[in-house]
Amino acid sequence: MDENDFYKQTVQHLARCLSCIDPTPWEKVNTLFMLCPQVSTSFTVTPRSQEACIALGLYFLQSDLQHQDKLLPYFLKVLKCLTNAQFEEPMCRVKNGDREYFIK
pLDDT digits (tens, 9 = 90+) for 50-91: 999 999 999 999 999 999 999 999 999 999 999 889 998 876
The amino acid occupying position 29 is: V
Q: What is the pLDDT of residue 33?
A: 97
Name the DSSP class of 58: H
Q: How would you class 101 by CB atoms within 10 Å of its CB: exposed for 0-12, middle for 13-18, buried for 19 or more?
A: exposed
More confident residue, 19 or 94: 19
pLDDT digits (tens, 9 = 90+) for 36-55: 998 887 889 999 999 999 99
